Structure 1
Amino acid sequence: MPGYALTIIGTRLGVVVFIATGFVQALPTSYEEAAQIDGANRWQIYWHVVLPLLAPVLFTAAVLLVISVWNDFFFALFLLQGSESATLPLALYQFANSGTYGVRWNLVFANVVLTSVPLLIAYIFLQRRVLAGLTEGGVTG
């Protein structure tokens, strides 16, 4: 399980860095200059100026990562052993292949719907923040 977690972190961290770097480069430097004139050092500028501005972007990146990890199949298939540590897509795959008389598609699709319900509920409650983070910095001028 630790190897699986490290693999997921290593492969997904680049997305967060890519999104955050693009946003930070688009930030005007006047915020940082104003904080520096007020006497803030680099860490104070980061914690009190840049990080609060990054909140919508980091939230959006977190949502994208949760969806990506939730739907992960191949790393789980190769790195997790046994059914007690199986992720939802891997458990669904094992369930679909466990039939002796063929795949019972009605049960498979019922499981697909049930495994996507938690993400759908989370999106319904958090959609405003996701859309705000995606459109942050999209307006120029």
Structure 2
Amino acid sequence: MLVIADTRLGVVIFLATGFVRTLPHDFEEAAQLDGANKWQMYWRIMLPVLTPVLFAGAVTLIISVWNDFSCALFLPRGSQPATLPLTLYSFASSSTHGVSRNLVFAHVVLTSLPLVLAHLVLQRRALAGLTEGGVTG
């Protein structure tokens, strides 16, 4: 699972880098005038401003790792558990008398249920991050 996350982490870094480059330097200058050092500028100013893009990157990374099929199929697992799409594939293809569609679709619903619940819980946070702005005017 860490291998899969590491391969997709570049997208999150790309998003965060592009977002930081568009931020105005007024934030840093105002913090320096107030006497903040580099760590205080990062923790108190930059990280709260970066929260929406880091949240969006985390959601993208989680969904990508959750739905991974090809890496989980081709990388040796050993005793590690497989991803849910891979278990669905092995469940659907293990029957010798044909596929039981009702059981496969029940597995699909159960596989997607944690992501749907996470969306319902975090929906307010995602929408608040989209409408949040640092500079007015």
TM-score range, shorter chain: 0.7 to 0.9
CA separation of 1:32 and 1:84: change in aligned 2, threshold 3 A: closer
CA separation of 1:52 and 1:140: change in aligned 2, threshold 3 A: closer
Residue of 34, 45, 52 corresponding to 1:56: 52
Equivalent residue, structure 2, for 1:71: 67
Q: Name which structure has the greater RCO, CA cutoff 8 Å, separation 6+.
A: 1
Which runs of at least 4 in structure 1 moved beyond 6 Å after TM superposition?
A: none
Please state how far the C-alpha of 1:56 moved relative to its aligned partner.
1.9
Equivalent residue, structure 2, for 1:10: 6
Query: How does the TM-score come out when normalised to structure 2?
Result: 0.86
Structure 2 counterparts to residues 30-41 of structure 1, below 5 A: 30-41=26-37
Contact 1:83-1:91 within 8 A present in 2 as well: no
Unaligned stretches of 5+ residues in structure 1:
none
Q: Secondary structure at the match of 1:111?
A: helix
Unaligned stretches of 5+ residues in structure 2:
none
CA separation of 1:71 and 1:18: change in aligned 2, threshold 3 A: same
Structure 2 counterparts to residues 1-141 of structure 1, below 5 A: 4-5=1-2, 7-81=3-77, 85-134=81-130
